[in-house]
Amino acid sequence: CCDVKDTKLAYQLNRALEKGDNWKFLDVDRLNGYWSKFFSLLCMMEQIEVVLKWYKEMSSSLFYPTPKNILDLLQALDAANQLEVIPSVW
């Protein structure tokens, strides 16, 4: 999904992962890696409102953002001219 920048496929994969206990097939490190890549793709391809919605839902409950995720979020905020939002996501 990330290599081809396909958010539709990423959302389908995410729905499959959330179905039942499918998430248990991934250990903690791989699950965190999955969420990290999913979030980076969202930062790159989605509107900032969607990115912020996912960030608030995912951050610290599903994954711990990596420095790269924070940089991706800051770049998305900058591209959307929404730098005033930084204090609320920090």
Domain count, the chain: 1
Alpha helices in 1-90 (DSSP H): 7-18, 28-45, 48-58, 67-79, 86-89
The verdict on residue 2 lying in a domain is: no
Q: Give the pLDDT mean for 34-52.
A: 92
Q: What is the mean pLDDT of residues 48-58?
A: 90
Hey, is 82 helix, strand or coil? coil
Give tens-digit pLDDT for 20-29.
777 777 777 8
51 domain residue, yes or no: yes
In a domain, 55, yes or no: yes
pLDDT at 2: 66
Structural domain contains residue 83: yes
14 lies in a domain?
yes
**Cβ of 38: how many Cβ atoms within 10 Å?**
23
* Structural domain span for residue 48: 7-88
